């Protein structure tokens, strides 16, 4: 009997069908995979554009902050009777290093009430105080002002004994951890300690500056770091960043945080903190091979000189050295502009400041950024320090027999970045720096003879991370919101630039004309063509309705009769004005006289070439003197200028209707 033919029974057909189905499934999987890769790439591009917006606006703000140094010189030359009426103001701005304050003068009048239920520190401090502080801050308790001042005084005393660069050594069995900017983000510090362990003799750390500002828990971070430093002074190393600067704190939030949390003794804390900053070391050198500094280097960086300078004379980047006595002196400063001093006299002398060369060396260390382009050229984005290329890195490292430069200062999407053929490492430890989901944080572990290891993390309030598209939408929305606020603050200038291009008065421009005008006025170096769909409407021919960019946003007018140009100007310069008023307001009362208010505005208007009639500002000032006592609460005055987004109003309306 013949055996049955399997093909005749249909088995072969079934196998072929299966092969065809498998092939179709594979093709479908590849199509889906390619689609998803493209979708994810588009999301990542959107995220990258959003981060570019955040960073461009951040750097533009820093540039404005650095330009204030010229204004303070100008102010001292022109502020009527400033030296006779306000000698303390001159000393605060350009005087010698701060006189030592007696600890008892600060502490003897401060009592810790029995009702205080926060952490109580025991001096001399031990590792149990670190634990105590961390647990208290996790419970959102506030450390009493008495202990804050004690910690600051003790920290200053120990820092004064330290060199400008801390030298430390590792071994294969004793790695060191390097953390970058924390910027008041306490949860990131908690996570680092949870994953990596608390500082100790066997677990040393370097914290590479910018502990404070921007985040809401700068004081808590500072106290944890200072207490840990006092317990382990040889194993926890603190480098100064560009935000360890009392003038930067006025703009970026830490001063406000201190005065809010310590209403009675905040002024004392600020005074001592200003001194502590000046004594923080400039950098750390690990195993004589790794240079750890906050910002970067320049072609003229001289580590031998930086080892010798009296670092405590560097009070603020906004206070470049100028002659304190004598005739007119003119010079170029590191910020690339000319400052002029004429006959300014204080109790200090020129010898009590850093020299111009020393000051510029420190500016480079705190403010510079690496770039792929060779050479060394001005850091035009930030307005201070320089951009340094791979050739500069090799030159400086070789000159001092070093192998690696570890720096921070720049937010990176993954928390760290390696460049210049592996010789420069950027580490940034504040996750969600711009917006939740905007970036990871990271820290580095390294030891002699081993490759650096990177550890990444991202704090999230939710139990699990939101999908990527939701995170990108939130980041993008926040970035566009900031950009529109920037646009509305320059509305008059932008419209003038648009109209110059719009010769037919059609209300429309080509994409190229619009992008050129945006960059020319705002100077943010952004991909305007790619961003146009988020900012303006475009017709079917690709022409842009340039007024559409202002339709859904406006600056709230505290006084309706005041012209829009004045409102835009005050809004645009509100951060600068707040710092200037804070400097005048030496007792932190929040009040300045109408006369001082007008005088400062006239000087500001003159220096910044603001073309607005004084009568408009006078009328605005009088309207803002609510109780007619001749004084203005300048913080409330500046808060009155804010941007209203129509989308926000619609959201609120929807919420009410729901």
Catalytic residue positions, numbered: 243
Locate all alpha helices (DSSP H) within 536-591, ordered by sequence.
564-572, 574-584
d(CA 489, CA 566): 10
d(CA 180, CA 202): 20
Is 1 strand, coil or helix? coil
Distant-in-sequence, close-in-space partners of 321: CB < 8 Å, separation ≥ 6: 350, 353, 354, 355, 356, 359
Q: How many CA atoms lie within 13 A of 265 on its CB side?
A: 19
Locate all alpha helices (DSSP H) within 356-489, ordered by sequence.
356-367, 390-399, 468-489
Asked if 292 and 283 touch (Cβ cutoff 8 Å), the reply is yes
Helix-strand-coil split of the chain, %, nearest 5: 50, 15, 40
**Structure token pair of residue 68:** 């204030």
Asked if 296 and 239 touch (Cβ cutoff 8 Å), the reply is no
CB atoms within 10 A of CB 497: 22
Distant-in-sequence, close-in-space partners of 651: CB < 8 Å, separation ≥ 6: none
Asked if 257 and 216 touch (Cβ cutoff 8 Å), the reply is yes
d(CA 59, CA 199): 33
d(CA 582, CA 586): 7
Query: Among 462, 464, 472, which residue's Cα sits nearest to residue 435?
Result: 472
- The strands making up 404-407's β-sheet, listed across from edge to edge, are 165-168, 283-286, 290-293, 404-407, 424-427, 416-419
CA distances to 508, 518, 553, 631 from 489, in Å: 21, 13, 10, 27
- The vertex-641 CA angle with 636 and 644, nearest 5°, equals 130
Checking DSSP bridges between strand 165-168 and strand 283-286, what pairing results, if any? parallel
Query: Among 114, 125, 166, which residue's Cα sits nearest to residue 280?
Result: 166
Query: Position of tokens 């630039």?
Result: 497
- What is the residue-wise DSSP string for 387-452? EE-HHHHHHHHHHTT--EEEE--S--TTSEEEETTTTEEEEB--TTSSSTTS--EEEEEE-TTS--
Beta bridge partners of 453: 445
């Amino acid at each position: 009997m013949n055996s049955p033919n399997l093909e005749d029974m249909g088995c072969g057909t079934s196998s072929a069908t299966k092969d065809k189905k498998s092939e179709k499934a594979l093709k479908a999987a590849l199509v889906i995979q390619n689609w998803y890769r493209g979708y994810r790439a588009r999301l990542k591009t959107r995220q990258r554009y959003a981060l570019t917006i955040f960073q461009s606006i951040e750097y533009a703000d820093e540039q404005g902050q650095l330009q204030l140094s010229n204004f303070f010189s100008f102010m001292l030359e022109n502020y009527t009777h400033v030296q006779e009426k306000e000698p303390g103001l001159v000393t605060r701005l350009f005087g010698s290093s701060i006189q030592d304050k007696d600890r008892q003068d600060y502490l003897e009048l401060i009592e810790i009430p029995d009702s205080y239920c926060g952490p109580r520190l025991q001096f001399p401090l031990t590792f149990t105080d670190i634990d105590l502080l961390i647990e208290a801050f996790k419970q959102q308790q506030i450390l009493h002002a008495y202990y804050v001042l004690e910690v600051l005084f003790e920290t200053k005393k120990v820092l004064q004994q330290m060199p400008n660069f801390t030298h430390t050594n590792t071994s294969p069995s004793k790695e060191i951890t390097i953390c970058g900017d924390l910027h008041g983000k306490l949860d990131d510090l908690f996570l680092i300690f949870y994953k990596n362990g608390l500082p100790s003799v066997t677990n040393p750390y370097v914290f590479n500056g910018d502990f404070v500002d921007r985040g809401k828990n700068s004081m808590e971070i500072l106290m944890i770091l200072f207490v840990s430093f006092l317990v382990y002074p040889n194993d926890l190393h603190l480098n100064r960043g560009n935000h360890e600067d009392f003038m930067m704190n006025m703009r970026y939030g830490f001063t406000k945080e201190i005065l809010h949390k310590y209403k009675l003794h905040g002024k004392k804390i600020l005074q001592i903190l200003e001194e502590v900053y000046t004594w923080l070391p400039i950098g750390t050198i690990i195993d004589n091979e790794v240079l750890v500094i906050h910002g970067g280097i320049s072609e003229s960086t001289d580590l031998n000189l930086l080892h010798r300078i009296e670092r405590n004379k560097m009070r603020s980047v906004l206070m470049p050295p100028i002659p304190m006595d004598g005739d007119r002196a003119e010079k170029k400063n590191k910020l690339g502009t000319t400052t002029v001093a004429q006959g300014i006299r204080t109790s200090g002398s020129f010898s009590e400041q850093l020299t111009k060369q020393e000051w510029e060396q420190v500016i480079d260390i705190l403010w510079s950024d690496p770039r792929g382009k060779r050479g060394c050229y001005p850091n035009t984005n930030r307005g201070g320090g320089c951009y340094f290329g791979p050739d500069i890195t090799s030159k400086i490292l070789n000159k001092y027999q070093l192998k690696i430069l570890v720096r921070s200062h720049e937010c990176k999407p993954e928390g760290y970045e390696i460049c210049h053929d592996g010789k420069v490492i950027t580490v940034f430890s504040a996750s969600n720096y711009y917006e939740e989901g905007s970036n990871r944080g990271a820290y580095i572990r390294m030891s002699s003879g081993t490759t650096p290891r990177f550890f990444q993390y991202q704090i999230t309030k939710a139990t699990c991370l939101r999908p990527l598209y939701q995170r990108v939408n939130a980041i993008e929305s926040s970035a566009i919101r900031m950009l529109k606020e920037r646009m509305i603050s320059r509305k008059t200038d932008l419209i003038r630039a648009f109209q110059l291009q719009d010769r037919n008065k059609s209300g429309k421009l080509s994409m190229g004309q619009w992008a050129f005008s945006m960059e020319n006025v705002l100077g943010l170096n952004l991909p305007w063509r790619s961003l146009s769909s988020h900012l303006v409407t475009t017709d079917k021919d690709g022409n842009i309705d340039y007024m559409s960019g202002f339709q859904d946003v406006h600056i709230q007018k505290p006084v309706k009769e005041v012209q829009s140009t004045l409102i835009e100007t005050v809004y645009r310069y509100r951060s600068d004005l707040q710092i200037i008023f804070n400097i005048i307001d030496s007792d932190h009362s929040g009040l300045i006289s109408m006369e001082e208010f007008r005088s400062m505005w006239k000087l500001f208007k003159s220096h910044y070439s603001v073309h607005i009639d004084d009568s408009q500002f006078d009328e605005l000032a009088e309207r803002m003197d609510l109780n007619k006592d001749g004084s203005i609460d300048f913080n409330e005055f500046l808060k009155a200028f804010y941007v209203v987004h129509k989308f926000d109003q619609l959201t609120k309306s929807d919420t009410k209707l729901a």
